[in-house]
Amino acid sequence: MTAKKSGASPDKRRKYDEVFKAEALRLASESRSTQAAAQQLGIRPKLLYRWQQA
């Protein structure tokens, strides 16, 4: 028997528009840490790091 997970399906990704990404990058550049900026925005730090590298 398998347990059923509740909540959103892991197959569905959130999509962020260019305006949100630009604001996130601006906030990260003004912040002391990318991790703190990501936490403030409610996104994972790894995602913000990837946007900075792009």
**pLDDT tens, residue by residue, 32-50:** 899 999 999 999 999 999 9
Q: Domain of 45?
A: 18-53
- For a pLDDT cut of 70, what percent of the chain falls above it? 81
Give the chain's domain count.
1
**26 in any annotated domain:** yes
**2 in any annotated domain:** no
**11 in any annotated domain:** no
Q: What is the pLDDT of residue 32?
A: 86
pLDDT exceeds cutoff 80 at 4: no
**44 in any annotated domain:** yes
Looking at the whole model, is its pTM more than 0.85? no
Distances (CA, A) of 13 to 8, 9, 26: 10, 9, 23
**13 in any annotated domain:** no
pLDDT exceeds cutoff 90 at 8: no
Distances (CA, A) of 40 to 2, 7, 16, 37, 50: 36, 22, 15, 5, 17
